[in-house]
Amino acid sequence: MIIPVNLGSRSYRIIVESGALDTVGARLAELRVGSRTALVSDAAILRLYGKAVGRSLESAGFTVTTVEVPAGEAAKTLAVAERCWDALLAAGLDRTSTVLALGGGAVGDVAGFVAATYMRGVNIVQLPTTVLAMVDASSGGKTAINHPTAKNLIGAFHQPRLVLCDPTTTRTLSQREFSSGLAEIVKHGIVLDAAYFAEVERDAAALCARDLPVVERIIGGSCRLKAGIVERDERESELRHVLNYGHTIGHALEAVTGYARFAHGEAVALGIVAEARLARRLGIGSDETVARQERLLASVGLPVRAPAIDADEVLAAITRDKKARDGRVPFVLAPRIGAFQLAYDVSPDLIRAALRELGP
Ligand SMILES: NC(=O)c1ccc[n+]([C@@H]2O[C@H](COP(=O)([O-])OP(=O)(O)OC[C@H]3O[C@@H](n4cnc5c(N)ncnc54)[C@H](O)[C@@H]3O)[C@@H](O)[C@H]2O)c1
Ligand SMILES: [Zn+2]
């Protein structure tokens, strides 16, 4: 599946295709970029997929410098970015060169940030290898490293030149990592597309069994939905907030549990459950709309209840949210499957009550 992202001079394509990693060299050559490239990835991913990508690039005439970064969030620091800049300089990368990010969202974020800043911006190609990175982090151009006090605080918008998703790479993900990514897929269906949501409902079992044609079709559908939003709101002024569905509460749950108890998608799943119940309490949506969201999350292996959540702590974390403006946190709510509306000034009592419903 080829999904165009139309952003004028910054347009690019998202390609979702089994075996896509073997075609990266040829596809990059089509973009007529310079011959030098840097492949940014972590040790585990390099072991699994580094050779295939390196071979493809070299056989298309590119030189490849591999830059290894730590796995996961540990990659998203200024020190790691600095090491990457040094490696790019040492390898002689210039303004026409390309950085390729091979890995999950963490590698994509730091490599994107490095590409956005090195010589005021060089080409970045995203080669996402997690479900989350394929359907969310790799497209849209948001890049970031973490600040010691908050995640993703230091960054830049820098659109990729190309996004290549190879769904076969999802086969080597742990069960937890795989399921976690599905939360974003369910999110896209809930707020953006009822037919897509129904497709995921129908194919939930095959998706969880990682049936490759199904994984490819569902990931492609999700990429298309995200691309549609990015095209209409490239810089996250208003509409793009819709992608925060489940995240206002989800992020707060991650923060109060020290980013240790829940995988991101697990926190988002719980956030969706609580935000669906919040909508119901505000008189938005039906019981059935709430139930369908919970059913689908549970059927793709995500948690819908969590014991021992301190509602007051979560509430305090919500008001510290980066997206808060003048102390007001906007909530994205789903009046029905495939639709959304924004709510400002939601009463803390209602939020607390919705959070309590997460209890077993
Ligand atoms: N820029 C954006 O728009 C955006 C959007 C959402 C999330 N993010 C960021 O993405 C990050 C989370 O990304 P993630 O969930 O992809 O996790 P991750 O990047 O932290 O990777 C998790 C682990 O999975 C391993 N891994 C990756 N692909 C694998 C594969 N195919 N097989 C086996 N192991 C593999 C990695 O080595 C790593 O240890 C966060 O830092 C978040 O802030 C960014
Ligand atoms: Zn998310």
Does residue 202 carry a pLDDT above 80? yes
Per-residue pLDDT band for 237 (boundaries 50, 70, 90) equals confident
State whether residue 259 is helix, strand or coil: coil
Does residue 101 carry a pLDDT above 70? yes
Q: Across all residues in the chain, what is the average pLDDT?
A: 95
Residue percentage of the chain with pLDDT more than 70:
98
- Topology of the domain comprising 175-356: Dehydroquinate synthase-like, alpha domain (1.20.1090)
- State yes or no: is 251 an active-site residue: yes
From the candidates 36, 244, 266, 275, which is the catalytic residue?
A: 244
Q: 283: CA distance to ligand 1 center in Å?
A: 36
- State yes or no: is 264 an active-site residue: yes
How does pLDDT run across 131-177, given as a tens digit for each residue? 999 999 999 999 999 999 888 999 999 999 999 999 999 999 999 99
What predicted TM-score, i.e. pTM, was given to this entire model? 0.96
Per-residue pLDDT band for 300 (boundaries 50, 70, 90) equals very high
Q: 315: CA distance to ligand 1 center in Å?
A: 27
Distance CA 331, CA 142 (A): 21
* Residue nearest to ligand 1 atom 33, measured at CA: 173
Residue 79: its H or E element: helix 78-90
Determine if ligand 1 sits within 6 Å of the CB of residue 179: no
Q: Where are the domains of the chain?
A: 2-172, 175-356
Per-residue pLDDT band for 345 (boundaries 50, 70, 90) equals confident
Does residue 348 carry a pLDDT above 70? yes
- State yes or no: is 142 an active-site residue: yes
- State yes or no: is 76 an active-site residue: no
| Per-residue pLDDT at 246 | 97
How does pLDDT run across 42-79, given as a tens digit for each residue? 999 999 999 999 999 999 999 999 999 999 999 999 99
Residue percentage of the chain with pLDDT more than 90:
91
| Per-residue pLDDT at 238 | 80
CATH number for the 2-172 domain, one of 3.90.660.10, 3.40.50.1970, 3.40.50.300, 1.10.3720.10? 3.40.50.1970
* Residue nearest to ligand 1 atom 35, measured at CA: 173
Determine if ligand 1 sits within 6 Å of the CB of residue 44: yes
| Per-residue pLDDT at 323 | 66
Q: 65: CA distance to ligand 2 center in Å?
A: 31
Ligand with minimal distance to 184 CA: 2
Q: 133: CA distance to ligand 1 center in Å?
A: 6
| Per-residue pLDDT at 285 | 87
Does residue 188 carry a pLDDT above 70? yes
| Per-residue pLDDT at 322 | 63
Q: Give the distance, in angstroms, between the CA of residue 136 and the centroid of all CA atoms in the same chain.
A: 3
Distance CA 73, CA 71 (A): 7
How does pLDDT run across 111-140, given as a tens digit for each residue? 999 999 999 999 999 999 999 999 999 999
Phi, psi angles (nearest 5°) of residue 24: -60, -40
- Give the atom of ligand 1 at the shortest distance from the alpha carbon of 106: 19
Ligand with minimal distance to 183 CA: 2
| Per-residue pLDDT at 350 | 93
Does residue 325 carry a pLDDT above 80? no
Tokens 């995921």 locate to 200
Residues 6+ apart with CB under 8 A from 228: 192
Q: Which of 21, 101, 100 is nearest to 56 (CA)?
A: 21
Q: 142: CA distance to ligand 1 center in Å?
A: 14
Long-range CB pairs of 73-78 (<8 Å, 24+ gap) are 73/106, 73/146, 73/151, 73/259, 74/106, 75/42, 75/106, 75/107, 75/109, 75/110, 76/106, 76/109, 76/110, 76/144, 76/145, 76/146, 76/151, 76/152, 77/110, 77/145, 77/146, 78/145, 78/154
Q: Are 66 and 92 in contact (CB under 8 A)?
A: no
Does residue 321 carry a pLDDT above 90? no
Mean pLDDT, to the nearest integer, of 257-276?
96
Question: Nearest-5° angle of CA 93, CA 165, CA 107?
Answer: 50
Burial class (CB in 10 A: 0-12, 13-18, 19+), 14: buried
Per-residue pLDDT band for 186 (boundaries 50, 70, 90) equals very high
| Per-residue pLDDT at 147 | 94
Does residue 289 carry a pLDDT above 90? yes
| Per-residue pLDDT at 327 | 63
- State yes or no: is 226 an active-site residue: yes
| Per-residue pLDDT at 239 | 84
